[in-house]
Structure 1
Amino acid sequence: MQVSVRMLARWLTLVLRAAGPAVCCKRVYKDAHITVCPLADGGEGTVDALVNGCDGRMTQVQVTGPSGHPVVCPYGIVDETHTAIIEMSGAAGITLVPASKRNPLFTTTYGVGELMLHAVRAGAKTIYIGLGGSATNDGGAGMLQALGARVVDDRGCDVALGLAGLEQVASVDLAPALQALDDARIVVLSDVENPLVGRRGALAVFGGQKGLPTRDAEVLRRYDSWMVGYGRLLDAAIAGAQAQGLLRTPEGVRTFGSVLGVPGAGAAGGLGAALLALGAELRSGVETVLDLVGFDELVRDADLVITGEGNMDEQSAAGKAPVGVARRAKRCGKPVIAVVGGRADNLDAVYGQGVDLVLPICRKPMPLDQALNPQEATTNLIFAGESAAQAYDLARL
């Protein structure tokens, strides 16, 4: 018997590597062969997952953080394929900004551009960028500026960093940034399908969690108008770069008339739009990671697939890693059990995507800080894994 284990949360992955799967499944099946492979969906844990799954290595660089202060950001390198793996949250993530100081009017993606530039100078020919957990709503303007793009006001001066700077943008010139990237292929990993602007745009949907006053509709409309103007300038800059022969559409990549309405352009506060302007490919985070770690080959010989998530709810069915795993496993006719820290009352959408059983891991009532303790989590996972294996055994009767 072989069991493939897929866990999303970073702390849960570490627990699984240390003890979880081997102990939990072998309590029921003494001769079980366990394959442990971390997974991510383009958000937190993407660098770890791909470095481990693709025999890469970690490096780090100091860049400008979202509030303008320096931060040390790790990223992955796969030397064999000249590939860099970046999480934008490492340079511009919301966890880098204290809750009391979150204000996307001033937070910036400048460090993301610095990170990309460092990767290219280190020899990267392909850059995978996970978009998730951002503190920013600057439309990726800071990233473009760090790469050398001219994002200027009507006097030809660089605009201020952050969303506030977009009010002043009069023109965008992508040529210096494209030259700095030296034809590197950029692949964006995200399962967010929001456009740049409008009711489902970067500001309307995600602005509140980053500090924008979501209850003030008039203020939000004003901010969104800045983003609309900026998006139109990106469109003009794309046309200009194409006319100069600096920007070519990669083969097999869908073209678009304007970045404003492209699904995914609103990811990471509009960073998706700026990356599109640089010729990036937008890909499903979970599907791309599954391909890169060779999931289909691993699952082919498995009897049971165990996946997991911190909290499973209806949003889990919209591109999250566990459901991506379940869809792939079902193609091969494999049963899927998800072990979770918490779950919503209604999981019909999750079950409809191929998850057969959702199993909360806590073996008894306990406060959250106790449940998150690594030793306690290990114990909980051991018993949850035992239950998963017993459930699989029961299904075979």
Structure 2
Amino acid sequence: MNTVSTLQRFGIGISLFFGYALFAVAWKVGDFYVLSVHTFDNAQLADSTAWLNVAKLVTNFLLGIAVARVAAKYYFATVGNGFAIGLLFSAVGLAVMVNASSDLMIMAGRAIVGLGGGLVLFCQSPLTASIFSGKELNLMNGFNASAYNIGITAAITLSATILALPAESMELVTYVLIGLSLFLAALVFLSLNKVTASESGEVASFSSGLVEKFNWVFCLVFSGAIVFYTLSFTFIEPANIMNLLYAGVVGNFAGIVLLNKFEIRKLAMTTTVLASLSAIPFVLAGSQVAAMALGFFLFASLPAFISLAYIRENVNPSSLALTFMLLWVGSDLLVTVMVKVFAAVPTSVGNMILLSLVAIYGAGTVFIARKYK
């Protein structure tokens, strides 16, 4: 058991939320930086994003092995400090990118940001499950699920201003992000340092995570939503996606409220199916009404969908870490491939890819909710 006061839980919760949101901002500001200062085209942007995702993928995979085999006796300390170290790596990656003198150094900086993001993503879910329970856990799952979209939305909302900045001002924005990353890393470390934790709980083996069918299904289904979202905010013009992102922020908080009012499985099925249907007129016709509906239902579904992993029988923080490790490894691999594919195919093919991805999310959620209790 972890002895955590209300004030400590609040501090840790705030740190988890803003740490994840800050990684999303760092990702998107990195996009803006290479587009504005280094005048990358879409193909080069896709390459730099691929480096970031490969680093996230490798980090999550190696952490899954390390936590299951090397750090089992110090599980809570490992995921807690790992989250803080992830923020530090994100700051270092941004610093490398800003001071890069070649495309290779830019790619290396993006990869280091991805390494930090891999640590943040891997450690967030088990750390949340270790500290929170009951309605507090549902609330934190909802807030954590909203953090990435809020970070991306904030960055894209300010995109016109950021892209219009001269190189010196763009560097200043990046250094501000570096400072915030360092501050949050210190806050997480100091908050967790005051927590009294027992390290004697059961730790799931790496092999058990690989043979658990739920983990692979969960990975495939959620990857549909992740890849859809990543392709959208990477390649769709900001003016055409802003309504989706703004509605997504509202939908995410609506999903948090609804999570404690409706049965989780029914809520997950309903919202994901409605999101899938809303995607059709948005992708094919550019309907902004459909964009708002898609954004609302897509992000309203996230708290309930994420909770499907938590409400199964016999789950614990370490088994959840392996579930989400496979999720991030699988989704990062698909993002890496699909970003390259999407940049090369005609619009009509790209539209079919987007619709297929969101359909996988909707139909797959129905399958998970009915199959796994």
TM-score under structure 1 normalisation? Answer: 0.23
Identify, as 1 or 2, the structure richer in strand: 1
Larger-gyration structure (1/2): 1
| The structure with more helix, counted as a fraction of residues | 2
TM-score by length of 2: 0.24
Q: Which has the higher contact order (CA 8 A, sep 6+)?
A: 2
